[in-house]
Copies of this chain bind each other. A is one copy, B any other.
Amino acid sequence: MYDVAERSGVSIATVSRVYRTPDSVRAQTRERVLEAARQLGYVPSGNARGLASRTTGVLGLCFPDYADADAEADAEADSDADDAVMLYSDQIIRGMERAARRHGYALLIAASLEGGPESLVAKVAGRVDGFAVLAQTVPTEDLEVISRRLPVVMLAGPREIDHLDHIVVANADGERELARHLIEDHGLRRLAFVGGEAESPDAEARFLGFQEACRDAGLPVPDEPDLRAEMMTQAEGARAAEALLDRETEWPQGVLFANDQMAVGALRALERRGVRVPEDIAVTGFDGIPLSRIVRPPLTTVRQPIRQLGEQAVELLVQRLGNSGREPVSLMLPVSLIRRASCGCG
């Protein structure tokens, strides 16, 4: 910048003005400066600008390190498809990028590895005006500290810190609606629910919705999921399906899985065992992943508006950047039931 100033015979203040407030500089001077900048290959330092102006024009996203889950998903899917499957994080990124672009922000993304001062989270936090975090990505205490300095919005998970903005999807509502559909529209009465580990807030919320539907329909209300999977993967789903079949008791008429991955695994296991879906047993998932459309039979599920999650996150951040005094909000995004063949529809 000093070089540009010297070369064009002005002060650095004027060079700065050329970039920040072009109209405040005489056209002739401005051209001289821009020409010099071009000749010198001048690239303004975002760091310096950010330091001086205390703002970066960048929003951030921290998401968990899915590396293992991906490797697994890739291995399970036919290799043909592994490039095609859009992950949760991909969709959030896309949503945030769109919204950020609309507001003139760039987006900084990083998967958190471990914690500690040198973590990527710390790097992100120091380089953005505000950021979103996927639940269970960053240790609560770190978030607690960081959120005192800049806007943070928490996505999809329990509200661990109450002064943070927070967005979830309507897990319970979705599962309740799904169960209601099975009960009322398909006349099923003996339903089983396969959940995840008790620490998964999503899975728990979905089970809650299932309970509500049972209650609403006057059916017995289970205290616990019939089965809990550790990993919520296809393999676990297959295992759960077989466990359900091998029980002494009569088969359930329908099985609700806490996510699509498990339901897909179950579909395959049932096919191997010669159990017809939906004639013998109805199967449902949750999430609305692409795979749910492709499997046979197509999976009835509940779609989460993941992209909107990202867009809303940016909206909240931008709002708070404009008005830091705003009360923290907690949004719940509506989900939508997708009826396909695996429950008997279509």
Contact = CB atoms under 8 A, between A and B. Distances in A.
Nearest to A340: B80
A306 B83 CA distance: 8
Contacts of A37: 145
Contact of A83 (B22, B83, B86, B110): B86
A303 interface: yes
A288 interface: yes
A79 to B, nearest CB: 10
Interface string A300-311: 000100110000
A127 B127 contact: yes
Interface in A173-222: none
A13 interface: no
Interface stretch (A100-108, A265-273, A322-330): A100-108
A18 B116 CA distance: 12
A47 B145 CA distance: 19
A126 B50 CA distance: 10
A43 interface: yes
A49 interface: yes
A345 to B, nearest CB: 14
A38 interface: yes
A306 to B, nearest CB: 7
Interface in A92-145: 93-94, 97-98, 101, 104, 106-111, 113, 117-118, 120, 122-127, 141, 145
Interface stretch (A146-154, A230-238, A248-256, A275-283): A146-154
A259 interface: no
Contacts of A303: 83
B47 A126 contact: yes
A46 B127 contact: yes
Contacts of A18: 117
A113 B101 contact: yes
A133 to B, nearest CB: 14
A243 interface: no
A100 to B, nearest CB: 8
A75 interface: no
A297 interface: no
A41 interface: yes
B83 A97 contact: no
A65 B118 CA distance: 33
B43 A145 contact: yes
Contacts of A127: 46-47, 50, 56, 58, 106, 127
A89 B145 CA distance: 34
Interface string A12-46: 00000011001000000000001001100111111
A53 to B, nearest CB: 9
30 contacts: A22-B117, A37-B145, A43-B122, A43-B145, A45-B126, A46-B50, A46-B123, A46-B125, A46-B127, A47-B48, A47-B50, A47-B51, A48-B51, A50-B127, A67-B98, A83-B288, A83-B303, A84-B86, A86-B86, A87-B94, A101-B111, A104-B120, A106-B109, A106-B110, A106-B120, A106-B127, A107-B109, A108-B108, A108-B109, A294-B294
Given A46-B127, A47-B56, A80-B293, 9 more contacts: A41-B149, A43-B145, A46-B47, A47-B126, A83-B86, A83-B91, A93-B109, A107-B109, A290-B290
